[in-house]
């Protein structure tokens, strides 16, 4: 056995074949014997950091013995670690906490130590969630799987009890969010520019730049460069744990951090927004931040009050439809998918192509029709009244 040694007073550290192992006393059992907790790492520093974290949690009273920790407790610890280490933003953390609360609504999962969890009760809980949207089911399922995978990694359990459990499908009928037609867009544009409507500037900016509403509400005057005619997108507005608006230090995704051009169409709107800007952010309400849900509620009122939508067209229309509308107009105008990907802040070209596949298909058909016209002008066309001679 490798020789034990003390390193910087952080506990006993062992040198192993694969790295280092640390050990610390976390309490005394019923027989008066010390209870030890072991951690591993590739370096002494990594082991010491883990030992220090355990010591601090014991001091603050937040330490939970591995043999009694529940899935919900471990999931919360993982989220807090990700937040403290800047792997996730506050807005993301609060959204995950909402997912965790759904899991905690199941008494079995909330109160049962991880070692005692079994396949069937977890499956039954997921089945009970099929009445929710697929998005909610996906989040709950992924949190359960990720937490149990971490429990295996930390050697709290030897096997993941739901390793082979398939993700359930929602029983809800999901209506696809659609873009506005050109007629609907013109009607909405006229209302937003002639009527006294709250948040009209934000809606117009989304419809004419494709920015997410959270990105728009987080804009500051310094993000606008009139010299180079650009908008810097590097943060987003999200909701805190109590529903309050908070600003994240970066955009929704890594690719969401981008610089987008201010077109000639948008420039007068930008100048008007700057003239009316708040003290800290471009868009404020009585000095307070504005969240997406506030704008969304106003948008729904407008489309209903002014009869904006064509009821014959299928598909859901929400505030996000403004972003879809911008993307659709860009495709109809002939913009290349790669350019559109950057403007929208998509991480992968596949997201752009898959999200707007209908618009791309319509654009493709229109261009094929134009090609047919070009061939006809060249004299290349087949008279359908005549049969084509067979070869030979």
pLDDT of residue 216: 93
Residues 81 and 40 in one domain: no
Say what the pLDDT of residue 288 is.
86
Would you state the structure tokens that stand for residue 136, as one six-digit string?
């909610």
For residue 297, the model assigns a pLDDT of 94
> Does a structural domain hold residue 69?
yes
Looking at the fold, whether 318 and 286 belong to one and the same domain comes out as yes
Residues 46 and 94 occupy one common structural domain: no
From the first residue on, what is the mean pLDDT of each consecutive set of 10 residues in the chain (392 residues)?
43 79 72 72 84 74 68 91 84 88 94 91 94 91 95 85 92 84 94 93 94 92 93 84 71 74 91 88 88 92 95 91 89 82 80 69 62 65 52 46
13 near 5, Cβ under 8 Å?
Answer: yes
Residue 385 in any domain: the answer is no
Give φ, ψ of 125 to 5 degrees.
-65, -45
* Domain enclosing residue 232, as ranges: 182-366
Residues 199, 342, single domain; the answer is yes
Q: Would you state the torsion angle of the CA atoms of residues 193, 196, 198, 202, taken in this order, to the nearest 10 degrees?
A: 10
Task: Examine the domain organization and report whether 263 and 316 are in the same domain.
Answer: yes
Residues 314 and 359 in one domain: yes
Confidence at residue 359, expressed as pLDDT on a 0 to 100 scale: 66
- Same domain, residue pair 219 and 345: yes
Residue 16: what pLDDT?
Answer: 82
What CATH number is associated with residue 161? 1.10.150
145 closest CA partner among 170, 124, 164? 164
32 shares its domain with 82: no
Within this chain, do residues 41 and 75 fall inside the same structural domain, yes or no? no
DSSP assignment letter at 166: P
pLDDT at 254: 66
The answer to whether residue 91 sits within a structural domain is yes
Examine the domain organization and report whether 77 and 144 are in the same domain: yes
Which pLDDT value is given to residue 204?
A: 94
- Whether residue 381 is contained in a domain is answered as no
Edge-to-edge, what's the strand order for the sheet holding 34-41?
4-6, 12-15, 20-28, 34-41
- Domain end position, chosen among 173, 196, 219: 173
Q: What is the number of structural domains in the chain?
A: 3
pLDDT of residue 92: 83
Same domain, 43 and 73: no
pLDDT of res. 371: 61
In this prediction, residue 57 carries a pLDDT of 72
pLDDT at 25: 76
Q: Assess contact for 236 and 256: CB atoms under 8 A.
A: yes
């Amino acid at each position: 056995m490798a020789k034990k040694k003390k390193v910087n007073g952080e506990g006993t550290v062992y040198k192993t074949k694969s790295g280092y192992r640390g050990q610390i006393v976390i309490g005394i059992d019923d027989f008066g014997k010390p209870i030890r907790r072991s951690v591993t790492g590739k370096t002494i520093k990594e082991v010491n950091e883990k030992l220090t974290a355990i010591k601090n949690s014991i001091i603050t009273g937040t330490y939970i013995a591995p043999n009694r920790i529940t899935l919900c407790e471990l999931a919360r610890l993982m989220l807090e670690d990700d937040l403290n280490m800047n792997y996730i933003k506050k807005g993301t953390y609060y959204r995950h906490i909402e997912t965790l609360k759904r899991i905690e609504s199941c008494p079995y999962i909330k109160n049962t130590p991880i070692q005692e969890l079994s396949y069937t009760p977890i499956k039954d809980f997921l089945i009970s969630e099929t009445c929710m949207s697929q998005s909610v089911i996906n989040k709950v399922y992924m949190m359960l799987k990720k937490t149990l995978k971490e429990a295996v990694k930390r050697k709290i359990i030897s096997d993941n009890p739901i390793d082979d459990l398939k993700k359930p499908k929602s029983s809800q009928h999901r209506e696809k969010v659609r873009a506005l037609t050109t007629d609907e867009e013109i009607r909405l544009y006229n209302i937003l520019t002639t009527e006294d409507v709250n948040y009209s500037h934000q809606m117009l900016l989304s419809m004419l730049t494709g920015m997410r509403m959270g990105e728009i509400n987080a804009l500051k005057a310094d993000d606008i460069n009139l010299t180079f005619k650009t908008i810097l997108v590097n943060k987003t507005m999200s909701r805190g744990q109590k529903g309050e608006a908070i600003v994240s230090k970066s955009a929704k995704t890594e690719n969401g951090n981008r610089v987008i051009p201010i077109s000639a169409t948008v420039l007068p709107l930008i100048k008007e927004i700057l003239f009316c800007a708040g003290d800290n952010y471009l868009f404020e309400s009585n000095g307070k931040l504005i969240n997406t849900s506030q704008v969304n509620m106003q948008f729904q009122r407008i489309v209903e009050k002014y009869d904006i939508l064509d009821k014959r067209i299928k598909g859901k229309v929400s505030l996000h439809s403004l972003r879809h509308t911008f993307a659709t107009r860009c495709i109809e105008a002939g913009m290349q998918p790669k350019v559109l990907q950057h403007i929208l802040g998509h991480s992968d070209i596949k997201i752009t192509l898959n999200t707007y596949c209908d618009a791309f298909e319509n654009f493709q058909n229109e261009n094929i029709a134009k090609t047919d016209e070009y061939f006809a002008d060249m004299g290349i066309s087949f008279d359908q009244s005549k049969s084509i001679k067979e070869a030979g």
